[in-house]
Structure 1
Amino acid sequence: MKETSTRLRPRQDTSSPYLNTAAKAKGKLWFGSATDTTTAETSDVSYMTIFNNSNIFGQTTPANTMKWEFTEPTQNNFTLSAGNETIALAKASGKLVRCHNLVWSSELPSWVTGGNWTNATLLAAMENHITTLIQGYGSSCYSWDVVNEALNSDGSFTSNVFLTNIGEAYVPLAYKYATAAVTATGADIKLFYNDYSIEALSTKNTAAVNLVKTIKSYGANIDGVGFESHFSTSYYPTTTQQEQAMASVAAEGVNIHVTELDVACSSVPCSTADLATQATAYYDTISACMGTTACTGMTVWDFDDKYSWIQPSSNGGEGNPDLYYSNYTRHPAYTAVYEAIEGQSCSVC
C-alpha cells in the first residue's frame, strides 16, 4: 500500500488505541515486543518513544543478548551486561521481561559446538550455564525459555551438540537444573519451552505436548509453552486451528504465551491485498489467545519493519512483517490486533 499524505499518521505514533492497556483490561498479563540492544534501535529516538510507552507494550524479550554466545563466550567467563541492558530498558518503563534463552542449537560459542565432550562434562557445563544465568538475572526475569526449538517438524529432536553427547534427556535435564536454580533464588520465575510450527494441531504439536509430559516425569517444573507464531501472508493458521493447538498444550496444566509474532508480506512494499491478509493473520492469532484462558501474554518479535529480522534481501523478497512501518506509522494490522483484543470484528481484514 502506498502511503499518501492524507493517510499518514504522525511520526512516533503513540496515540490510542493502546494494545497493552487493552490486553490487561481483558485479563492478560501483557501485550509486548521483543527488542535487540545489539542493533541501532535502542539509540533511535523514534523507536524508543514507542517502545517506552507502557500503554502500548508492557513486556519485552531480549532478542539475542541472553543467548549462550553472548552470556558465556568462553567457558566460565560469564558476561551478563548485555542482557542487563534490556532489563534496564524494561524497568525504566515498567515492563516485565521474558528471558530468552538458556539452551538452543544456534548462537552457541565455538567452545560449546567444538568441544571434546562426554555426557558428564557437557551436562556439567549445561547445568553451570543454566544455574549461573537464572541466579545472575534473578527476579528481573518473569520467565525463562529454558530450551528453545528442540523439535523438527516430524517430531524428532533437532540435531545439536547436546543431543549428540547427552541424548534426548538433555531437554528434561535442562528443566531439572532450571528448577533447582529457581528454587535457590527464592523467586517466582516461570519456566517455558519455546518453539515454532506448533500453532496448529500437527505431529510437532503432539511432540511438544509429549515433551511437557517427559519434563514433568523427571520431577522438573515447566510452567508453559511459547508459541513463536512466525507467519506470512502465504501461510498462517486460523483462529480455530490455533485455539485447538493451544487447548492440546493447556490440557497438560501449563500456560501459553504467544512469543514471537510477526507476519511477513510476500513482497515489499506490501500490496493492499497483502496488508489485509496480514491483518487477518494477526487478528486470528490474537483472537486465539484472547479466547484461551491458558494463553496469558502476547509478544510481537519487534514492532518496527526497519529493525525486523525478516528483511527482503535475506528472505526471498518477504518483509514488512511488523505492526509499524519503518517510518513509525502503523500497519492496518495494529488496528486488527486491537479489535481482536476487544473481541470486535476486524475492520481492516
Structure 2
Amino acid sequence: MANDLKKVSLIGETKVKRRWFLGLIIFIASTCLAVFLATSAPAQTPELPAESLRYLADLQGFSIGASAKPKPLERVPKYGSLFAREFNTLMPENALKFAPVHPERDVYDFTKADALVSFALARNMQVRGHTLVWFHALPRWLLEGNFSREELMAILEDHIKTVVGRYRGHIYAWDVVNEAVEADGSLRDTFWLQGIGPEYIDLSFRWAHEADPDAALFLNDYAEGMNSKSDTQYALVKGMVERGVHIDGVGFQSHLGFLSADDPQEVAENIKRLGELGLQVAFTEMDMPIYNLPGKTIKEKLDSQARLYRYFLKMCLDATNCNDIIFWGLTDRYTWLKNFTGDSKSPLIFDEDFNPKPAYFAIKEELRSRN
C-alpha cells in the first residue's frame, strides 16, 4: 500500500493504478497538489506591468485567461512568461480530457495536467477545468468495451470523482459536460447518451459536486445566441435547476465565425435569460478567425476583429452574471484551427511571434475604461 500512496502523493509521479476503493483514492488524490505546493517555493505573482491585461482584470475581479498546452509551456520560455504576465486564469486545452488522463481502465495519467496546474498555481493564477464528459477524446478501451449501462455509470462516476477529486480546492470551475445539444435542438446522440441515457448529464454534475463542493460547475457548448440549440440548452439547465441538480452556469464556447455565427445582441439576450435562472455565463473558448470578418485588407479585418473582441468583453462586463473570458489559445502560433485549415486564420490576440494585435489593445482599453 505504501507504494500506491506514493504514486498519488507527488506531482512528479502522476500515473495512478486503481486498486483500492474509490473514497480512499479520491481523498488521497485531492491532497496531492497541496502537498507539492507546501513543500515548494511559495506561489508568486509575476511582477506585472501596470498595463497588462491581468493587472487591469484583477482590479475588476474579472477572470481573463486562455487555454494552455504543455509542450510550448515546457519548450518556449516566452510562452510561459507572456501567459503569466497577461492572464490570471489558465485552462488546460486537452490535458484534462478523458483519453489523456484515463488511457486504460485502471490507469490514470495526470502528467500533462499536473504540469499545467502546477505552473498556474505557482504564479497565483486560477485554473479552470476542461472537460469531464464529452463524446470526443474517448479512449479505445472505453469505446470498444461493450460495457453495460451499470458498468458505464460506474466508469463515469469513477472518472469524474478521481479527476475532480485530485484537484479539489485548486480548480475553481469545471466544464462538466461538453456539447450535449445538437444544432437542431435535440440532445446529441453521443456515446454517453446511448450507453446511459439522458440522465448522464444530471449524474455527471452530481458526481462532480460530490468530489468538490466548492467548484463551480458549467454546461459547456457553442450555443451563444437565441436559436433552437440554445433554447434546448436553456430548457435543459432550467430543468436541472428545478430538479435541484447543482449547476452554477453555462459556458459559451464562442468560436466566433467558425462554430458560432450569432448576432451579438442575441448573445446578450441569452446571457440575460440564463441570469434570470440564477446561472452564471462564461466565455470559455473564445477565438475569432478573420477570414469572414468585414474588411478588404488584413489590417481592416484585424481592426474588425478588435472591435468585436471589445464588444464581447463589454457585453460580459456589463452583465451581472458574466465574469470570465477564456481565449482558446494564447497565440496564433498554436491555434487549433491549423489542424483544420492548415492556416491559423489569425484568431487570437497575440500573433505567431507573440506580438500583441489590435484586439489586444482594444481589450486593454475596455478594461482600462472600467478602472
TM-score tier after normalising by the smaller chain length: 0.7 to 0.9
**Any idea what SS the aligned residue of 1:324 has?**
coil
How far off is 1:207 after superposition? 1.5
Residues in 2 aligned to 1:214 and 1:266: alpha-carbon distance in whole angstroms: 38
Q: Give the 3 Å change call, closer, same or farther, for CA 195–126 of structure 1 in structure 2.
A: same
Q: Which runs of no fewer than 5 residues in structure 1 stay unpaired?
A: 1-13, 345-349
Secondary structure, aligned partner of 2:287:
strand
2:321 & 2:368 partners in 1: Cα distance?
18
Residue 184 of structure 2: aligned partner: 154
Aligned residues with identical type, % of pairs: 29
CA distances 1:219-273 after superposition (whole Å, capped 9, x unpaired): 3201111111111399754543321111121111111111111111218xx7112
Distance in 1, matches of 2:242 and 2:320, equals 25
User: 1:105 corresponds to which residue?
Assistant: 135
**Alpha-carbon deviations, 1:271-308, whole Å to 9, x = none?**
11211121122112111101101001111111211011
Aligned partner (choices 349, 353, 358) of residue 323 of structure 1: 349
Deviates more, 1:226-235 or 1:70-79: 226-235
Structure 2, gaps ≥5 residues long: 1-47
Q: Does 1:49 align with 2:81?
A: yes
Task: Return the match for 2:324 from 273, 284, 297.
Answer: 297
The answer for the alignment partner of 1:77 in structure 2 is 107
2:288 counterpart of 1:266: no
Alignment-derived partner of residue 193 in structure 1: 219
Q: Distance in 2 between the 1:229 and 1:340 partners? A: 19
Contact 1:176-1:219 within 8 A present in 2 as well: no
Provide closer, same or farther for how the CA distance between residues 318 and 60 of structure 1 changes in structure 2, counting only shifts above 3 A: closer
How far 1:138 sits from its partner (Å)? 1.2
- Partners of 2:258 and 2:153 in 1: CA distance: 41
Equivalent residue for 1:134, pick from 147, 164, 179? 164
- For 1:275, the equivalent position in structure 2 comes to 302
Per the alignment, residue 208 of structure 2 pairs with 178
Choose which of 190, 198, 210 in structure 1 pairs with 2:235: 210
Tell me, yes or no, if the aligned pair for 1:237 and 1:281 is still in contact at 8 Å. no
Query: TM-score of the superposition, structure 2-length normalised?
Result: 0.81
- C-alpha separation in 1, matches of 2:88 and 2:72: 21
The residue number in structure 2 matching 1:20 is 54
- Three-state SS of the structure 1 residue aligned to 2:167 is helix
Q: Distance in 1 between matches of 2:272 and 2:244?
A: 23
CA distance in 1, matches of 2:366, 2:266: 16
How many residue pairs get aligned? The number is: 321
Which residue identity lines up with residue 276 of structure 1 in the other structure? Answer: D
Residue aligned with 1:99, SS: strand
Structure with the larger helix share: 2
In the TM superposition, residue 317 of structure 1 has moved relative to its aligned partner by 5.1
Say which SS state the counterpart of residue 327 (structure 1) adopts: coil
Check conservation: 1:32, 1:298, Cα contact below 8 A. yes
Q: CA RMSD in A?
A: 2.3
Structure 1 CA distance for aligned equivalents of residues 180 and 280 of structure 2: 19
Distance in 1 (CA, whole Å) between partners of 2:157 and 2:244 is 16
The answer to whether the 8 Å contact 1:194/1:227 transfers is yes
Q: Contact 2:335–2:344 (CA<8 Å) still a contact in 1?
A: no
